[in-house]
């Protein structure tokens, strides 16, 4: 008797995916609450899409969704493309792949009121591969896969391969995708509907189902992972309220990359009861929102710091160093700041560095720890401990 697993698309109930709402309720409620807090804080402090927090979130999303697939994008190139896209000054974009990925993610988030159809998906996939190649290999671009060979996700050396998943045959893809797209569009919230009228977390569950369903069909020769995460973005944007995009789900998934693949693999080998997958996905969404709340808190603390210590009252070199320490975050400036590092950052003499550091401690901008050559200086922000025993006193 064969022990080969029955893939989910071969299950008699496919594609009628279902989940147990009662068992998901706590996770859905948590994610819904955290998302509400995130949106509330965004509105309360007036963050716009050109705020550094928003720029970092979108840039991080591009880098992370590519990194999940093993593709490394240079953050400075990505950030340049994002800034130019938002009308901010910056160097001209120099990477067509970055521009294409940005096109896809931006269209998914901003084009929430447009139907998802075969043409839109194919244009997304074309944008990911502007030269029609992945590496040195030519692939089918702008259309579903058509090859007769099985579409398999495989790891291991030649002769010792492990098949993690096998998608439906290419000949079945058009029909499978027609069913998926009809479901996705039929289940989208009506435009103009009140987001509060939707049961808490229902949009997250729909996004989880959409991602699993699309990845299980695996309709393109390449780019399915990035496209599947763009579909999640579209599903969440449709749920509303949208506001400024500050979260990065791909960053969270990258942190849990192995668990992400494992969760997908288990769901694709199981029955059409995908409660476990939806639960795992919703937890990741909640964690992504929680991480964003922490970033917003840090942004607020930075703003409060500059309110206590106006930049206009500082020399250029002191302002530059303080901004660097703030940007690196709590404990992010490895090993702390000392006189030698200050000299390298500013180009001043030893005597000037020592005097600057002492005066910044007296002014409450820095705190010091240790003595003699072991003295280290840390930005003085409430709640930031920098890995030390006590938190700093933010009062000047």
Tell whether 287 and 326 lie within a shared domain.
no
Both 94 and 240 in one domain: the answer is yes
| Span 151-179, pLDDT tens digits | 998 887 777 888 889 999 999 999 999 99
Is 4's pLDDT higher than 70?
Answer: no
- Running DSSP on this structure, what letter comes out for residue 168? P
Task: Give the pLDDT of residue 1.
Answer: 41
User: What domain range is 186 assigned to?
Assistant: 8-298
pLDDT tens for each residue of 22-63: 999 999 999 999 999 998 888 877 788 888 888 989 999 999
Question: Which token pair is 94?
Answer: 């120099």
pLDDT digits over 232-287, tens only? 999 999 987 767 888 999 999 999 999 999 999 999 998 999 999 999 999 999 99
**Mean pLDDT taken over the chain:** 90
Q: Which long-range contacts (CB under 8 A, 24 or more apart) does 199-202 make?
A: 200/28, 200/29, 200/32, 201/24, 201/25, 201/27, 201/28, 201/29, 201/31, 201/32, 201/282, 202/28, 202/239
pLDDT of residue 340: 95
Q: Beta strands of 217-307 (E only): which ranges?
A: none
Confidence tier at 195 by pLDDT (50, 70, 90)? low
Please report the pLDDT score of residue 5 as a whole number: 58
Q: Any idea what the CATH number is for the domain that residue 190 is in?
A: 1.10.3290.10
Q: What percent of the chain has pLDDT over 90?
A: 67
Is 222 in the same domain as 364?
Answer: no
Question: Both 153 and 72 in a single domain?
Answer: yes
Show the tokens assigned to 72. Answer: 């490394």
337 within some domain: yes
> And the tokens for 78?
């990505």
Spatial separation of the C-alpha atoms in residues 128 and 122, rounded to whole Å: 10
What is the domain-level CATH number for residue 363?
A: 1.10.10.10
Q: Indicate whether 17 belongs to any domain.
A: yes
Last residue of a domain, one of 298, 320, 350: 298
- Of 264, 298, 332, which closes a domain? 298
* 175 & 200 share domain: yes
Residue 345 lies in a domain: yes
**Same domain membership, residue 230 and residue 353:** no
Residue for token pair 């603390």:
301
Q: Within a domain: residue 303?
A: no
Q: Find out whether 203 and 239 touch, Cβ atoms under 8 Å.
A: yes
Helix (H) or strand (E) holding 65: helix 52-68
Beta-strand relationship, 376-379 and 366-369: antiparallel
Quick one: 341 and 292 in the same domain?
no
Domain membership flag for residue 48: yes
The three-class DSSP label of residue 379 is: strand
| pLDDT at site 93 | 62
In angstroms, rounded to a whole number, what is the distance separating the alpha carbons of residues 151 and 224?
A: 12
How many CB atoms within 10 Å of residue 7? 16
Cβ(113)–Cβ(242) under 8 Å?
no
**Structural domain total, the chain:** 2
Distance between CA atoms of 150 and 117, rounded to whole angstroms?
A: 25
Q: Is residue 386 in a domain?
A: no
Q: Is residue 391 part of a domain?
A: no
Q: Are residues 208 and 328 in the same domain?
A: no
The DSSP element (H or E) to which 99 belongs, if any, is helix 96-110
The band of 131, judged by pLDDT with boundaries at 50, 70 and 90, is: confident
Identify the residue whose tokens are 């476990």.
276
CA distances (Å), origin 72, targets 136, 169, 179: 16, 30, 34
Please state, in angstroms and rounded to a whole number, the distance separating the CA atoms of residues 107 and 113: 10
Within 10 angstroms of residue 179's Cβ, the number of other Cβ atoms is: 14
Residue 140 located in a structural domain:
yes
The DSSP bridge pattern shows strands 152-155 and 162-166 to be: antiparallel
| Rounded CA separation 176/316 (Å) | 61
- Closest to 366 measured CA to CA, from 313, 309, 312, 328: 309
Are residues 125 and 250 located together in one domain of the fold? yes
How many whole angstroms from its chain centre is CA 193? Answer: 27
Q: What is the C-alpha to C-alpha distance for residues 35 and 201, in angstroms, rounded to an integer?
A: 10
One domain for residues 251 and 354: no
230 and 260, same domain (yes or no): yes
DSSP state of 136: T
Q: For the chain, give the longest Cα–Cα distance.
A: 81
Do 343 and 293 have their domain in common?
A: no
Does residue 381 contact residue 300 with C-beta atoms inside 8 Å?
no
Residue 221 confidence (pLDDT) above 80: yes
Please determine, for residue 291, whether its predicted confidence score (pLDDT) is greater than 90.
yes
Q: Residue range 359-380: average pLDDT?
A: 94
**For the whole model, what pTM was predicted?**
0.84
| β strands within 261-373, DSSP E | 366-369
């Amino acid at each position: 008797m064969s022990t080969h697993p029955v893939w989910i698309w071969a299950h008699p109930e496919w594609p009628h995916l279902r989940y147990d709402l009662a068992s998901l309720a706590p996770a859905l409620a948590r994610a819904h609450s955290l998302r509400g807090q995130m949106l509330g804080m965004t509105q309360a402090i007036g963050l716009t899409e050109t705020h550094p927090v928003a720029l970092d979130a979108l840039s991080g999303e591009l880098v992370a969704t590519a990194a999940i697939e093993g593709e490394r994008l240079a953050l400075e190139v990505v950030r340049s493309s994002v800034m130019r896209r938002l009308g901010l000054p910056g160097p001209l974009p120099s990477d067509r792949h970055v521009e294409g990925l940005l096109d896809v993610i931006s269209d998914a988030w901003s084009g929430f009121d447009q139907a998802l159809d075969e043409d839109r998906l194919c244009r997304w996939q074309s944008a990911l591969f502007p030269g029609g190649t992945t590496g040195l290999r030519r692939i089918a671009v702008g259309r579903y896969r058509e090859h007769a060979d099985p579409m398999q996700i495989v790891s291991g050396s030649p002769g010792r391969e492990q098949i993690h998943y096998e998608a439906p045959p290419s000949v079945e893809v058009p029909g499978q995708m027609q069913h998926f797209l009809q479901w996705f569009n039929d289940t989208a919230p009506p435009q103009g509907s009140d987001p509060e009228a939707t049961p808490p977390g229902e949009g997250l569950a729909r996004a989880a189902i959409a991602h699993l369903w699309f990845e299980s069909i695996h309709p393109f020769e390449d780019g399915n992972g990035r496209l599947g995460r763009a579909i999640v973005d579209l599903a969440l944007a449709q749920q509303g309220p949208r506001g400024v995009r500050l979260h990065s789900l791909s960053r969270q998934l990258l942190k849990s990359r192995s668990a992400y693949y494992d969760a997908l693999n288990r769901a694709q080998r199981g029955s059409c009861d995908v409660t476990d997958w939806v639960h795992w996905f919703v937890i990741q969404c909640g964690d992504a929102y929680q991480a964003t709340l922490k970033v917003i808190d840090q942004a607020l603390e930075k703003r409060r710091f500059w309110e206590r210590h106006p930049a206009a009252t500082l020399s250029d070199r002191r302002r530059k160093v303080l901004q660097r320490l703030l940007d690196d975050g709590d404990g992010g400036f490895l090993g702390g700041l000392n006189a030698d590092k200050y000299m390298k950052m500013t180009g001043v003499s030893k005597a000037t560095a020592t005097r600057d550091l002492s005066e910044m401690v007296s002014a409450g901008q820095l705190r010091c720890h240790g003595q003699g050559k072991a003295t280290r200086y840390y930005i003085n922000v409430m709640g930031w401990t920098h890995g030390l025993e006590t938190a700093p006193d933010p009062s000047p």
